[in-house]
Homo-oligomer: A and B are copies of this chain.
Amino acid sequence: MTPTMARPGGRSAKVTAAVHRAVVELLAEGDPLTIPQVAARAGVNATSVYRRWGDVGALLADTALVRFGTSGDVPDTGSLRGDLHAWGTALVAEAARPEELALLRAAVAAGPADPGAPAGFESACSACLVGRSTQAEAIVAAAARRGEEAPTTTRVLDHLVAPVYFRALFGLPAPSVDVLVELLVERLVAPATAQAAPSALG
């Protein structure tokens, strides 16, 4: 954001919100994303959009950061199992929403940042995961503070976030949220027990 446009709550904030909204709407409708189309949908000048974001890649990344970058409150149920269950349920719901799913698809299509990207440029890909990684870390850290045996953050990403996003992105038939999350969480929290139990997923 350039200094002249940084007035929060003012015209600039309204333009930013309208542009972000235009991006997710166009993506959810399956339209190809171009700056002129985004500008037209948002009711702003294309020049302003070019000046503020530069190109479609940066605009997509910024939108993803706004949608997925929040690492605010995580569930605090008093147990790792409870926290992962509540968080996983929210994750499944998020990945099923048309706008969020369209944004995830577009981010994956755009790919990670080019080696030639300007320093500090964050791709839409990594913007989609930054909030979830921070949240997974917070859940794992809370469990450790309570003295619970906790998986690593990487393990939560590999075995809870990855299957949820994988199923959503490839359009696999999702089991009910409760079944999916319960099983994934059981496997992360107590894999030996979950192994012995009959699988409702398989």
Binding site for B on A (CB under 8 A): 105-109, 111-113, 123, 125-126, 128-129, 151-155, 157-159, 161-163, 165-167, 169-172, 184, 187, 191-192, 194-195, 199, 201-202
Chain B residues whose CB sits within 8 angstroms of the CB of A201 once the complex forms:
152, 154-155, 158
Dominant SS among interface residues on chain A: helix
Determine if A152 and B195 form an interchain contact, defined as CB atoms under 8 angstroms apart: no
Determine if B187 and A159 form an interchain contact, defined as CB atoms under 8 angstroms apart: yes
Chain B residues whose CB sits within 8 angstroms of the CB of A169 once the complex forms:
108, 125, 169
Alpha-carbon gap, A202 to B159, bound state (A): 12
A157-B172, A162-B163, A191-B192 given; name 12 further pairs at CB < 8 Å: A105-B109, A125-B170, A126-B171, A154-B201, A154-B202, A155-B199, A158-B159, A161-B166, A162-B167, A166-B166, A191-B194, A191-B195
Chain B residues whose CB sits within 8 angstroms of the CB of A155 once the complex forms:
199, 201-202
Please list 6 pairs of residues, one from A and one from B, whose beta carbons are closer than 8 Å in the complex, sorted by A's number.
Answer: A108-B170, A113-B171, A153-B202, A154-B199, A157-B163, A162-B163
- Within the complex, the shortest CB–CB distance from A103 to chain B, in Å, comes to 11
Alpha-carbon gap, A19 to B152, bound state (A): 45
Alpha-carbon gap, A153 to B202, bound state (A): 6
Alpha-carbon gap, A55 to B76, bound state (A): 49
Given A154-B201, A163-B162, A199-B155, are A128 and B192 also a contact pair (CB < 8 Å)? no
Closest 4 CB pairs of A and B: A152-B202, A112-B171, A191-B191, A109-B109
